[in-house]
Structure 1
């Protein structure tokens, strides 16, 4: 991973919401190798909401579908508290409600560099 990505992630608490153990573990290892502190992974909406309440993350990576359950209640909580998040999913045909239009969507399992930039790179005032 590049120096900018390591700088963006170093010391950041990142919540992983993913129901596939292997994808969650791969993401965890990549985040930790870049210096992030991983929260979770959470494999259900209920467990993710509990983690948000008990450990405030700096950002979150959300799989859109968790064993048939949609993660939009998690996105709502994160949005209400001002915590940036990205949707990372293999289900690219899913309709994401318009209110989440400003959030990054990534195909799984990769693109951690793009996800890191979407979560933590400061935005210019004109965006």
Structure 2
């Protein structure tokens, strides 16, 4: 069941999008902007994401698991260190995640924004605080 109020959880948040598929990143960014989000990125590499984390305030992140030749786990590790909530938005199964990421939200692509909002800022399991 949809919960339209969940999208309001995004309002005013600064969300890093790490996604190497341009059109998916662009569609996600546009939808988030309509929900009142400040988009950080999107970026397509782990090094670009780490640079954004070093130079920008980030409230949460949406991470594609596989970025061309690399995974996003270095970025996820940094987010964990900084206690920034995130989720993996990917088409792979939960079994592809290393054991230390068991329990983090894993959403299939594409995902409805109200589900992502609940995971990052509501009662979902992506919250680290």
TM-score normalised by L of structure 2: 0.88
Match of 1:99 in 2: 100
Q: Secondary structure at the match of 1:102?
A: coil
Distance 1:76 1:70 in 2: 12
Q: Secondary structure at the match of 1:39?
A: strand
Q: Secondary structure at the match of 2:36?
A: coil
Output aligned runs, 1:1-127, within 5 Å.
3-92=4-93, 95-122=96-123
Moved more, 35-44 or 94-103: 94-103
Residue segments in structure 2 that go unaligned for 5+ positions in a row: 125-129
Distance 1:97 1:19 in 2: 21
Structure 1 residue 117, shift from structure 2 partner: 0.6
Residue segments in structure 1 that go unaligned for 5+ positions in a row: none
Kindly indicate whether the alpha-carbon contact (under 8 Å) linking 1:88 and 1:106 is maintained by their aligned counterparts in 2: yes
Structure 1 residue 22, shift from structure 2 partner: 0.1
Residues 17-60 of structure 1 deviation map (CA, whole Å, 9 limit, x = unaligned): 00000000000011011111110001000000000110121000
Kindly indicate whether the alpha-carbon contact (under 8 Å) linking 2:7 and 2:113 is maintained by their aligned counterparts in 1: no
How much is the aligned-residue C-alpha RMSD, in angstroms?
1.7
Structure 1 residue 118, shift from structure 2 partner: 0.6
Query: Do the aligned partners of residues 94 and 22 (structure 1) sit closer, same or farther apart at CA in structure 2, a change above 3 Å counting?
Result: farther
Q: Secondary structure at the match of 1:15?
A: strand
State how many pairs are aligned: 123
Distance 2:107 2:7 in 1: 19
Distance 2:75 2:15 in 1: 14
